[in-house]
Structure 1
Amino acid sequence: MPATPAFAATACSVDYQITNEWGSGFTANVTVTNEGDPVNNWSLGWAFPDGQRVTNGWSGEFSQSGANVTVRHPGWNPDLGTGESATVGFQGSISGSNGVPESFTLNGTACNGAEENAAPEVELTSPADGATFLAGEDIELAAEASDSDGEIDHVVFEADGTEIATDDSAPYTATWSGAEVGPYSVTATAVDDQGASTTSDAAAVEVIDEPQLQATPANLSVRQGGTATFDVSLSNAPDAPVDVTVERTEGSSDITVSEGAELTFTPDNWDTEQEVTVSSADNGGALGSAVITASGQGYGSDTVEVTEIDPNTSDYEAAFLEQYEKIKDPASGYFREFDGLLVPYHSVETLIVEAPDHGHATTSEAFSYYLWLEADYGRITGDWGPFNDAWASLEEFIIPETEDQPTNGSYDPSAPATYIPEHDTPQGYPAALDQGVPVGDDPLAQELSSTYGTDEVYGMHWLLDVDNTYGYGFCGDGTDDAPAFINTFQRGSQESVWETVPHPSCETFEHGGDNGFLDLFTDDSAYSQQWRYTNAPDADARAVQVAYWAHQWAEEQGNADEVADVVSDASKMGDYLRYAMFDKYFKEIGDCVGPQQCAAGQGKNSAHYLMSWYYAWGGAMESAQYPWAWRIGGSSSHQGYQNPMAAYALSEVPELIPESPTAAEDWATSLDRQLEFMEWLQSSEGGIAGGATNSWAGRYAQPPAGSPTFYGLYYDWQPVWHDPPSNRWFGFQVWGMERVAQLYYETGDERAGGILEDWVPWAIANTEVGTGGDFAVPADMEWSGEPDTWDGESTGNPDLHVEVVSHGQDVGVAASLAKTLLYYAAASGDAEARTTGEGLLDALIANEDDIGIAVEETRADYARFDDEVYVPSGWSGQMANGDPVEPGSTFLSIRSFYEDDPQWSKVEDYLANPDGPAPTFTYHRFWSQAEIATAFATHDNLFG
């Protein structure tokens, strides 16, 4: 029952938002606003209409009796003054419908918030999205606006958030004069007579200093003896017809303009693209290239580089080259260049929130896919320069250098790190260091130092702020230096990306609070300036996997020497990657319960030999009076991170076996252990369940009674993170199985083949390939039951089940699935696997656009832009841009830069009207686009 009120609230309102939903569960945020007298020791109550159950909650103390839920205030936020709000969140279970509660109480008093004013509607009708204007030209603005429960008071036109003009009567128009050269995001905001407002979708426009001629794409492949096309248009309307000449200006005379050599654009058709056809001579000569130039009086010129490819090139190889050219075209926006080296963005678009919380951040995953893209290019063209450049960029920008990790020489392998317990929710942080908990010996450090002559760690940090969007700069110094190492997730399994506080990897106390951001995460008696990095093992393992194939392909061409240095560096990376095989605090593996009771490891009895979710290392700043350093492994292993192909390369291939004396033996053990792990986790349907841990709940807690085990590790259906549940996403299935399929193709390993024999039919049964680009691949999965305890042989796990509960059109996942099926088909002869794989590739081709392959997607989770980010009571600080960080801060409030994003108005409207349709976006994620390209190349490699 609700608590007895200390002060009765005369009025209150509640906003109940379901933030994520799957077959048997959901997460929700509930915000209560006190609109009456101040309330002490608040308590919120409601009744579920459909039998929902709260399974865990945060920002309040939850209890439930039947349908009735009560949430008492957290200790740090007991009171609600007039106008104040509090937000709680929870994860719940459902068994059917998931209706919203109809009524709420605050301290026993029913909440009857004032009826909301309906927001107005508005559409920006001029300028058009993508329009181009000349400097000095007037830009006409126009919008249509209406209000269902009143009248429009005025409409404000803005460019990049700066007001241009206001109109208070229909038709709503204005003229923008004097716009300077540059790109702009133009919006119209309608304000009604009750003060409610709505902002239109943005129109991206550009002001240029002189008219331009535009030829796309910038790079084009043509089969020898064949033809290919590109398009030409004008940037601005001419006053009179403009004649455009298109001709070869450089390169091979075998490449000619066969149609469209003379084009005419008029004031009526100037923005209609006109097609140009180039032809390659069918003379069997050496393959060449040429530059085709389009030029028009008063509009300058633009060029297209055309490259001949072999006439016997398969359709999928041609598709690879087309996709490759789009990705590498600077105009597409996938990379930022630094001193001749390219750094891939997470996505072309900036407004995207997933593991990286901004599109122009990047990850070690993106670098590993960049490497893969260039490896396939080297196989097809024989040009290994771009592959070597990709590794040079990886080494330069996302592997910390000496200046980034300066005090490793102070590391003591006999005391690798101080124990810090993990907590279930961010509200459990900062977590106290516990010097009294025993930790084991690090068995790798001395071997690695002796082998490579350095105490530094050679591994990628997982997250990079490519454009320095957050403003931390090098080592948190606030300069404009980019890219900059940053980090986010630091506070337990329930901390979603929506609840993180991004911070510099190098903590100098320049930003945040008195101790920088350290005291948001750890509770210590004193804080030191320090650096720390976190490795995502699947990315490093993928880089090794790609280096294996680059070596194989280059060797077949007689070019092995060209990639030898990169292969050697990948071997070295694999040597350090062994840290992912060890328990976080190097404690003994197996039946590890209780931080005090779980024994400190000696030698390698702390190795589980799987790929854990991370390993990490850090230390004091070089200026520290008493320098120190630390290293940790990872106790939890997710099936999607396993890479038996990399383990095979690092244990069996001479060029990739690391130099350390025990590395090959460790990786050989890991190869066997990883395959066993997937056999143990395979459900009776075929899907691979979550994983296992040596440290339940991240603090060596007691796992549920009867938990099945794998070499003493406890089964965990959602290892590592819970919001959303890990291993719910089908992408982790295909990432892992693609590596198993490669191993099966390359070695014929019977264990790999057996896993695929059960997995592939399940995946195909849940995949649909239609016509005209229609396809559907699994999206979300639901798990029930448990595997049998592992005793060395698979039982088939009759009590472990998986159900695909939703499907989608994730183009990256579709490409990964296609690659998996094609490798399996090539190894086994399975005709259905090949047919399905090819069908997915054809569907992807049918969804191509100017810069890649993409489909529109709906982002209902963007309601969480207003999610509160937990900040302890009494803590306050600032982001580098001045955004305050304090109790009550939200994801958006500490990332105010999003309000200037060209696509922000979509989210803003959704937040203002959460019952309306969720916003849609078309995203070009780098990993997806590279995966698509390499899927095309995979077919060409396997089937010609």
Structure 2
Amino acid sequence: MRPPPRLRPRSWRFRATAVFAAVAAAVALATFPTLPANAAIACQVTYAKQWDNGSGFGANISIQNLGDAVSPWRLTYTWPGNQTVQQGWNGTWSQSGANVTVVAPSWAQNLASGANVGIGFNGQYSGTNTNPTSFSLNGTVCNGPNPSPSPSPSPTPQALIVSPTTVSVPEGGTATYSVRLQAQPTSNVTVTSTAGSGDTNLTVSSGAGLTFTSSNWATPQNVTLAAAQDSDSTNGSRTIAVASSGLTSVSVTANEADDDPGTTQSLVVSPTALTVPEGNTAIFGVRLAIAPTSNVTVTTTAASSGDADLTATAGTSLTFTPSNYATAQNVTLSAAQDSDSTNGSRTFTVASSGLSSVAVTATEADDESTTNSYITEFQTQYNKLKASASGYLSPEGIPYHSVETLLVEAPDHGHETTSEAFSYLIWLEAQYGRVTRNWAPFNASWALMEQYIIPSTAGQPGGQTAYNPSDPADYAPEFNQPNQYPSPLSTSVVAGQDPLANELQSTYGNRTMYAMHWLIDVDDVYGFGTGRSSSLSECGDNTKRVTYINTYQRGPQESVFETIPHPSCETQRYGQTGGGFQPLFIQGTAAPQWRYTNAPDADARAVQAAYWALIWATEQGNQSQISATLTKAGKLGDYLRYAMYDKYFKNPGCASPTCTAGSGKSSSAYLLNWYFAWGGAMDGTWAWRIGSSHNHGGYQNPLAAWVLSSNGPAALRPQSPTAATDWTTSLTRQVQFYKWLQSAEGGIAGGATNSWDGAYAARPSNLPQFFGQTYDVDPVYHDPPSNQWFGFQAWGMQRLAELYYVTGNTMAKSVLDKWVPWVISNTTLGSGATFAIPNEMDWSGAPSASFNSTSGTPADNPGLHVSIRNTGTDVGVAASLARTLIWYAAKENGSTLGTQAKATAKGLIDRLLLSKTSKGIAIPEPRADYQRFDDVYNASTGQGVYIPSGYSGVMPNGDTIVPGKSFLGIRSFYLQDPEWPKVQAYLDGGAVPTFTYHRFWAQADIAMALADYGTLFPAG
């Protein structure tokens, strides 16, 4: 057996101008450039503690430059006690003894005159935590007289700041909200919290009377709410009035999260909102939550009001027995053909004696409204994506990452592609079937995925028959910097047991993995396919074009501009003689081998798309046309469970390589981690599989978990005997994860890891844990910080909004109810085509408490904060955001927030439509990060392509791989790109180049936003 190297699929939407360093105490200080002698420095520094739990704390520091411009800037200060910085952001942090230095990050070297920069950190201490008082900017002490005093600002009006204003309180437990003042008071202020009408089980247990003074007015104080344990299954609510004399009171809504519904009878109805095409039918399913003691009759009746064309025509009376109670039975709704163009709606009540009824909202999709402008625009955009002249698709029909070739972000060339792009193609074709009733392209897209990005049995030499689930892989630690690689192997560290391999083999008859690899070189730009024989000796791929490749493998600081591309099928033909590329990553002699890496969010997105294909095709009566593809989607979800497992199958809470190894499913976090990987010897004599220890909030897909769970549709249920149960657990765990990571403002923070520093290191004691996974503000990668990009917010919440739309999940609603107003308030809809959405974010603090309850609700996080660093006009993210708001608005139809969400979504879509090109919808982008094309490795900054001393290899095109080479130096083909002169001029000192990119995923998301809006809101 051979272990895998460190496999890291990607850092999506990379902007290389950002850098992050999280440095523990006692790191040696770097050498810093000398400033010009004539720089006059004056500065003001504000230190604001954000949280403190007695041993850990976090703070933000604001630096204002009151003198001449400074570049690069450097802040220094000394701790008055034994405080140590554990994790910092927006600068490179280091500490020697009590002395702390923060150096400007590469993306923000300059601090202009009058400019501000905000930095922050999490740290730990013992004893007294006294704030530092003396700060210096590039050696000059700050906080002296301001050389240019500003006029005194107008007094800030006084008000109560309460967060959040909606609180979920677990039955038998507690939850909190925070209160502070908006401005400093002139005398003490008393704030009271009084429970009003509603569920008397909900009470104010502490903090009913709070006192704020002139010194503590800005520090949030908590009010604790309690929910008494009872035996009913009602989720009651109660209003809490937060008030103070002379100030406007604030209402807090407390909702009980009852723990009894799982053991009491109820009706389970899905979906609770659906569209019925005029002259056709649609269905929803009904079942019981638990086995009844006798037969139960369930009836469906139409409301007397609403569109009379909508009627229940089958399944209006259903009988459930103790044996069939868990199997959903269908109710059929019909929409009569008429001559009007109104898309009416009607409510249907599903009821049974003694049980709470469930309302289902049906909306007619009128066929006189076929000129719906958004559906027309969808078809226009779809046609552009599929047109050969546009250049989105390869000759094989594979979607490129982008039409343009000169593009470096996660893929390092535009004509590579990813599992992400394939999943978007499948989703796009599902939408096409929704609009046109033609399902052949949907089936074809899945077949294309199987052919090119799911490795075939021949592409997995030996079929993994040599794989031993009791010994899945040898251990190789991860390191924080690329220059710490290659990594040593260790056979002494015991990996846990793989509980899935035997079950999957029993179910599907072989050891072959059914999962997408994340990256392929479609046009074989690198040339790893050049000269291949026509046999299947080289990983089953006899094409000279489409080749499996990989890039990231060397720790969280390895940005795309620091990677060395290499073939997934390592025959050692290229790279270093006798070792290929493997000596860059793993120490020792390595035999020829193959290895693939899965990006779980892409496979989950493909399952999500298959679910909607099922719903829409069933509404049309066309389910049979896609039944074979749906079975494959269930299979993909079966293997996707590897994303739930720790890298070396270690148990949650592991804090040492020698910690107890997992057995059975004990090593499952039931979340979607960053990757899983598998591989083996070219001759089939050994094989391995690993998961990942890092879980990012942006990768979760609770809708896919629901689809694959025991409650999901049978047509998509995985065949393995324990799969549905695993996904049922995962559904709850993923939604809880979102709730646990939600900041006070509403944004979703980074994630959690089971392997600190990638090597099961000792964990910071001040950070909370989620089922044994330690909170990590930037899990997986740091250049740039992995939760800096807003796109992960839009992607994750879109899936949660669909889950809420389909199931009415109450915890999903509570997360969205907080996230939606936050993002609306940070979205600007300007005149014409102008708009601005969040782009990059900064984070401070941490979740308020560890969480380990399989059925409870995580507490709110008054000390976890997000701020918007800057806004942007990324068209793909704007479309994803619009789709989130569309699905939320469709479920919250008529509510104030739902109406706002709909208006914001429409505003974004309408403005996108004003930026059409002949190939889609795009807005020019400046790319200052392209200055890194020429970077060679610099030991002081850690940037550039690190090639270890003694390594000498060659790329297929003849580029040598030796120390001192740059990103461009091992990719000289870029010099022939038609857009290269723009980059060369920039490297020669010219202006930042601007490009107009057409990324496939972004253009597909725009098309789907149009289809979603046009279908869910056909009246506009």
TM-score by length of structure 1 reads 0.69
Equivalents in 1 of 2:838, 2:372: separation in Å?
Answer: 29
- What is residue 382 of structure 1 aligned with on the other side? 437
2:705 is the counterpart of 1:647: yes
Superposition map of 1:751-900 within 5 A: 751-791=811-851, 792-829=856-893, 830-868=898-936, 869-900=945-976
Residue identity matched to 1:445: A
**Alpha-carbon contact 2:646-2:667 (below 8 Å) kept:** yes
Match for residue 586 of structure 1 among 630, 643, 649:
649
Equivalents in 2 of 1:609, 1:853: separation in Å?
Answer: 38
Equivalents in 1 of 2:705, 2:386: separation in Å?
Answer: 31
SS in 1 for 2:706: helix
Equivalents in 1 of 2:546, 2:454: separation in Å?
Answer: 12
Distance 1:771 1:650, change over 3 A: same
2:665 is the counterpart of 1:604: yes
How far did residue 93 of structure 1 move? 12
Equivalents in 2 of 1:609, 1:497: separation in Å?
Answer: 29
**Alpha-carbon contact 1:818-1:837 (below 8 Å) kept:** yes
Point out the structure with the larger strand share.
1
- What is residue 68 of structure 2 aligned with on the other side? none
- What is residue 538 of structure 1 aligned with on the other side? 601
- What is residue 96 of structure 1 aligned with on the other side? 116
SS in 2 for 1:806: strand
**Alpha-carbon contact 2:607-2:704 (below 8 Å) kept:** yes
**Alpha-carbon contact 1:691-1:715 (below 8 Å) kept:** yes
**Alpha-carbon contact 2:430-2:612 (below 8 Å) kept:** yes
Match for residue 919 of structure 1 among 993, 997, 1005:
993
Superposition map of 1:31-180 within 5 A: 46=34, 50-52=73-75, 96=116
Which deviations, in whole Å up to 9, do the C-alpha atoms of 1:521-571 show, x marking residues without a partner?
Answer: 0112x2110000000000000000000000111111111011111111010
Distance 1:369 1:908, change over 3 A: same
Equivalents in 1 of 2:503, 2:451: separation in Å?
Answer: 25
Distance 1:935 1:26, change over 3 A: farther
Which deviations, in whole Å up to 9, do the C-alpha atoms of 1:52-75 show, x marking residues without a partner?
Answer: 479899xx998889999999xxxx
Distance 1:346 1:562, change over 3 A: same
Match for residue 1006 of structure 2 among 923, 932, 937:
932
2:403 is the counterpart of 1:348: yes
SS in 2 for 1:696: coil
Match for residue 395 of structure 1 among 440, 450, 456:
450
TM-score by length of structure 2 reads 0.64
How far did residue 432 of structure 1 move? 0.6
- What is residue 518 of structure 1 aligned with on the other side? 582
Distance 1:533 1:328, change over 3 A: same
How far did residue 703 of structure 1 move? 2.1
Residue identity matched to 2:848: D
Distance 1:21 1:619, change over 3 A: closer
How far did residue 46 of structure 1 move? 3.8
- What is residue 591 of structure 2 aligned with on the other side? 528
- What is residue 804 of structure 2 aligned with on the other side? 744
Greater shift, 875-884 or 480-489, is seen at 480-489
Residue identity matched to 2:887: Y
Distance 1:454 1:911, change over 3 A: same
SS in 2 for 1:706: coil
**Alpha-carbon contact 1:429-1:520 (below 8 Å) kept:** yes
Equivalents in 1 of 2:88, 2:1010: separation in Å?
Answer: 44
Which deviations, in whole Å up to 9, do the C-alpha atoms of 1:644-692 show, x marking residues without a partner?
Answer: 0000000121111100000000000000000000000000000000000
Match for residue 418 of structure 2 among 355, 360, 363:
363
Superposition map of 1:235-274 within 5 A: none
Structure 2: runs of 5 or more not aligned? 1-14, 24-29, 36-70, 77-84, 120-135, 140-338, 340-366, 533-537, 937-944
Equivalents in 1 of 2:979, 2:764: separation in Å?
Answer: 45
SS in 1 for 2:476: coil
Which deviations, in whole Å up to 9, do the C-alpha atoms of 1:335-386 show, x marking residues without a partner?
Answer: 0122xxx100000000000000000000000000001111000011011111
Equivalents in 2 of 1:69, 1:551: separation in Å?
Answer: 57
Greater shift, 923-932 or 867-876, is seen at 867-876
SS in 2 for 1:349: coil
- What is residue 941 of structure 1 aligned with on the other side? 1015
**Alpha-carbon contact 2:459-2:540 (below 8 Å) kept:** no
Match for residue 424 of structure 1 among 477, 480, 495:
480
Residue identity matched to 1:543: A
2:674 is the counterpart of 1:613: yes
Superposition map of 1:447-596 within 5 A: 447-473=503-529, 475=538, 481-514=544-577, 515-524=579-588, 526-589=589-652, 591-596=653-658
Residue identity matched to 1:317: I
**Alpha-carbon contact 1:461-1:533 (below 8 Å) kept:** yes
Distance 1:69 1:702, change over 3 A: closer
Distance 1:709 1:522, change over 3 A: same
Superposed CA RMSD = 3.0
Which deviations, in whole Å up to 9, do the C-alpha atoms of 1:903-937 show, x marking residues without a partner?
Answer: 10111111111xx4311100000000000000001
Greater RCO (Cα-Cα under 8 Å, separation 6 or more): 2
Greater shift, 700-709 or 715-724, is seen at 700-709
- What is residue 15 of structure 1 aligned with on the other side? none
Residue identity matched to 2:974: Y
How far did residue 940 of structure 1 move? 1.9
SS in 1 for 2:950: coil
SS in 1 for 2:617: helix
Equivalents in 1 of 2:1011, 2:949: separation in Å?
Answer: 54
SS in 2 for 1:459: coil
Residue identity matched to 2:587: D
Equivalents in 2 of 1:673, 1:70: separation in Å?
Answer: 37
Structure 1: runs of 5 or more not aligned? 1-17, 28-41, 72-87, 105-283, 285-308
SS in 2 for 1:415: coil
How far did residue 481 of structure 1 move? 1.2
- What is residue 633 of structure 1 aligned with on the other side? 691
**Alpha-carbon contact 1:52-1:92 (below 8 Å) kept:** no
**Alpha-carbon contact 1:46-1:103 (below 8 Å) kept:** no
Equivalents in 1 of 2:629, 2:752: separation in Å?
Answer: 33
The structure 1 segments of at least 4 consecutive aligned residues displaced by more than 6 Å after TM superposition are 24-27, 53-57, 60-71, 88-95, 101-104, 476-480
**Alpha-carbon contact 2:573-2:580 (below 8 Å) kept:** yes
Equivalents in 2 of 1:539, 1:70: separation in Å?
Answer: 37
Distance 1:364 1:678, change over 3 A: same
- What is residue 79 of structure 1 aligned with on the other side? none
Superposition map of 1:901-912 within 5 A: 901-912=977-988
- What is residue 327 of structure 1 aligned with on the other side? 385
SS in 1 for 2:458: helix
Identity of aligned residues (%): 53
Equivalents in 1 of 2:697, 2:677: separation in Å?
Answer: 20
**Alpha-carbon contact 1:853-1:929 (below 8 Å) kept:** yes
